[in-house]
Structure 1
Amino acid sequence: MLLFADPMLTAHSIFALGDARRPQDMAMLSPILGRWGLLLEFDEAQQSGERLVELREGAVPVNLAGRFRTVQKAGKETVRCSLEAAALMADCRVGSGRVLALADAALLEDSHDPQDAEQRRAILQKLLRRVSRPI
């Protein structure tokens, strides 16, 4: 699974507040992340505005990104997570599967620059290939 857990969505939405089609402004995934031994944190002091963070797959745009922290989890399920790119991404083995979780969704935002849009598409394809490979 490729999961985008954005703690503070910055993309413009054409849908009004309260409209079920509007993306949630904040990720509410704490119980799921906790089951995997992850905690999503948000630094309120960070500057807004898009910046690039380097992953193995290339430079990923982020804006008001979160970060993951590993925590002790309850339960018998074995989950192993490694954190990358200053904890922007968690790569987890969950059962016989894999989860790549990014703490920002700016990569999915609409880019009006065709070259930038193509770069975002290429990074997304690389992330999808990575998540489909066994750990």
Structure 2
Amino acid sequence: MDNIAKSLIGLAITGITATGGYYGWQSLNSSDLSTQKGWGEANSEWFDTKYKDFKEKVNASENRPLWDEWLKLQQKFMNGKSLSEHQLGQKLKEWCGSENPNPAVDNAFAKVKAECVNL
């Protein structure tokens, strides 16, 4: 009887450890910044405020030159692929924070780069 009780306790501990390890790993994985979901969770406040403010400014009718630049920069970011709005936001944030952004900041993207201080 003693051995059965010890075995059951051992199985219970193993089950709890395995379950906790699985859910712990899942939660770590979701905040991994290398994944789109992880980046989105870590930067949701930035995306919902600063990026959306940037998009509103770009889409305002009086900012047509800025809109034109943003459109060209989006095309460079996409490089022939379709990107979600979160992916574009991520690329913009990385581009703004880079010392040597690619594509390079020249006259073609000077207006967008000037907006980076607000991001």
Normalising TM by the smaller chain, what interval?
under 0.3
Q: Which has the higher helix share?
A: 2
Higher Rg of the two aligned structures: 2
Greater relative contact order (CA < 8 Å, ≥ 6 in sequence): 1
TM-score norm. by structure 2 comes to: 0.27
